[in-house]
Amino acid sequence: MSRPLRLALLADAAASGVTAALLVAGADFLESLLVLPVALIRGAGMVLTPYVILVIFVASRPATRVNTVNAIIGINAAWTAASALLLVSGLVVPSALGMTFVLAQGLAVGAFGVIQYVCLRHAPGAVAA
């Protein structure tokens, strides 16, 4: 696995881990700031936990399958889409801060996916098929 891809995966895992901890531990506090349901906030954090473990595991391997990295990229794309859909669905009406938070984290996750994609495509020989 190329060094840039490993670093992109580790950065994703770190950011996702911090976000997961914030969402799980701070859900009650964030509910009033973001005007999002505490169950949604805490649930999102809990969903991130196995993702973080997966990404750390993949990044720690000397080589991994391209399909495995593509799955991580796909998960990031799905998270980004779900974040946008949440805001337009009408299921929640977050505060301005809540809308900004959902958009910002969705864009950050999407950016990680794009960076991982570029790293994967620029080092095809570095990742075992």
Contacts of 76-85 with C-beta under 8 Å, sequence gap 24+, read 76/12, 76/109, 76/110, 76/112, 76/113, 76/116, 77/110, 77/113, 79/106, 79/109, 80/106, 80/107, 80/109, 80/110, 80/113, 82/106, 83/109
Per-residue pLDDT reduced to its tens digit, 80-118: 999 999 999 999 999 999 999 999 999 999 999 999 999
Domain that holds residue 54: 3-126
Side chain identity at residue 16, one-letter code: S
pLDDT band at 128 (very low <50, low <70, confident <90, very high): very low
Domain total in the chain: 1
Per-residue pLDDT reduced to its tens digit, 114-127: 999 999 998 756 44
